[in-house]
Copies of this chain bind each other. A is one copy, B any other.
């Protein structure tokens, strides 16, 4: 499933390991200062916006499981399932570009619909 010889995948997995362990500081150490992330709600630029996006998610995260992970020199593609307080199964996929040991670009896919539904149900 995982190919540890891929430099990009090594970083993607270290990043995944950090944020799924609720260690956001360590996770951010793998993120380039000028990260660009295309997330469902739109483009995030820079570590400030990126951390602002990840922090609330890490707070509601109660579990995670890697589904598949692949990579080559500069690109890694991973898919995982997460368990969160409002949504029992919230799978995600990330395609990241890695340069000099840092994630410089991320394409991030998850389904916002169950989170929207949980928010509406809570109000």
Stretch at the interface among A14-22, A47-55, A69-77: A69-77
Q: Closest B-chain residue to A9, C-beta based? A: B70
The range of chain A's interface size is 20 to 34
Interface membership of A122, Cβ < 8 A? no
Q: Once the chains bind, are B75 and A77 in contact (CB under 8 Å)?
A: no
Instruction: Tell me which residues across on chain B come within 8 A of A60, comparing CB atoms.
Output: none
Interface membership of A63, Cβ < 8 A? no
- Rounded to whole Å, the gap between the CB of A47 and the closest CB of chain B is 23
Q: Once the chains bind, are A79 and B1 in contact (CB under 8 Å)?
A: no
A20 to B75 alpha-carbon distance, docked (Å): 24
Q: Once the chains bind, are A109 and B111 in contact (CB under 8 Å)?
A: yes
